[in-house]
Amino acid sequence: MAEKKKELTMDEAYAQLQAVLEKMESGDLGLEESFKLYEEGLGLVKLCSSKLDEIEKKMIILENRTEENEDA
Protein backbone atom coordinates (compact mmCIF):
# COMPACT_ATOMS: atom_id res chain seq x y z
CA MET A 1 0.00 0.00 0.00
CA ALA A 2 1.36 3.42 -0.95
CA GLU A 3 2.26 5.66 1.94
CA LYS A 4 0.67 9.11 1.97
CA LYS A 5 3.29 11.82 1.49
CA LYS A 6 3.43 14.22 4.43
CA GLU A 7 2.64 17.79 3.44
CA LEU A 8 5.32 20.24 4.46
CA THR A 9 4.64 23.00 6.90
CA MET A 10 5.40 26.57 5.88
CA ASP A 11 8.58 26.53 7.99
CA GLU A 12 9.76 23.23 6.51
CA ALA A 13 9.11 24.38 2.95
CA TYR A 14 10.92 27.66 3.57
CA ALA A 15 13.91 25.85 5.10
CA GLN A 16 14.10 23.49 2.11
CA LEU A 17 13.87 26.46 -0.26
CA GLN A 18 16.79 28.12 1.54
CA ALA A 19 18.82 24.91 1.20
CA VAL A 20 18.04 24.74 -2.53
CA LEU A 21 19.13 28.35 -3.00
CA GLU A 22 22.38 27.77 -1.12
CA LYS A 23 23.18 24.77 -3.32
CA MET A 24 22.40 26.71 -6.49
CA GLU A 25 24.46 29.71 -5.38
CA SER A 26 27.48 27.50 -4.71
CA GLY A 27 28.19 27.34 -8.43
CA ASP A 28 29.45 23.75 -8.15
CA LEU A 29 26.52 22.15 -9.97
CA GLY A 30 26.11 20.91 -13.48
CA LEU A 31 23.29 22.03 -15.72
CA GLU A 32 21.07 19.01 -15.05
CA GLU A 33 21.43 19.24 -11.28
CA SER A 34 20.83 23.00 -11.40
CA PHE A 35 17.65 22.44 -13.40
CA LYS A 36 16.41 19.79 -10.95
CA LEU A 37 17.00 22.16 -8.05
CA TYR A 38 15.30 24.97 -9.98
CA GLU A 39 12.21 22.80 -10.45
CA GLU A 40 12.25 21.80 -6.79
CA GLY A 41 12.59 25.45 -5.79
CA LEU A 42 9.63 26.46 -7.97
CA GLY A 43 7.50 23.81 -6.31
CA LEU A 44 8.52 25.06 -2.88
CA VAL A 45 7.78 28.67 -3.83
CA LYS A 46 4.31 27.64 -5.02
CA LEU A 47 3.72 25.73 -1.79
CA CYS A 48 4.84 28.68 0.34
CA SER A 49 2.64 31.03 -1.68
CA SER A 50 -0.34 28.73 -1.23
CA LYS A 51 0.28 28.49 2.51
CA LEU A 52 0.52 32.28 2.78
CA ASP A 53 -2.77 32.64 0.90
CA GLU A 54 -4.44 30.23 3.34
CA ILE A 55 -3.09 32.17 6.31
CA GLU A 56 -4.21 35.48 4.82
CA LYS A 57 -7.75 34.15 4.27
CA LYS A 58 -7.91 32.89 7.87
CA MET A 59 -6.70 36.26 9.15
CA ILE A 60 -9.39 38.08 7.16
CA ILE A 61 -12.06 35.76 8.59
CA LEU A 62 -10.79 36.32 12.13
CA GLU A 63 -10.62 40.06 11.58
CA ASN A 64 -14.21 40.11 10.30
CA ARG A 65 -15.38 38.09 13.32
CA THR A 66 -13.63 40.54 15.64
CA GLU A 67 -15.29 43.49 13.92
CA GLU A 68 -18.69 41.80 14.13
CA ASN A 69 -18.23 41.19 17.87
CA GLU A 70 -17.22 44.81 18.42
CA ASP A 71 -20.35 46.03 16.60
CA ALA A 72 -22.63 43.81 18.71
pLDDT at 4 over 70: no
Q: For the whole model, what pTM was predicted? A: 0.75
Residue partners of 21: CB distance under 8 A and separation at least 6: 41
| DSSP states of 4-69 | PPPPPPHHHHHHHHHHHHHHHHT----HHHHHHHHHHHHHHHHHHHHHHHHHHHHHHHHHHHHHHH
What value does the mean pLDDT take over residues 27-42? 94
What is the Cα–Cα distance from 28 to 39, expressed in whole angstroms? 17
pLDDT of residue 66: 85
Q: What topology is assigned to 10-71 in CATH?
A: Helix Hairpins (1.10.287)
Residue 13 neighbours by CB distance under 10 Å: 20
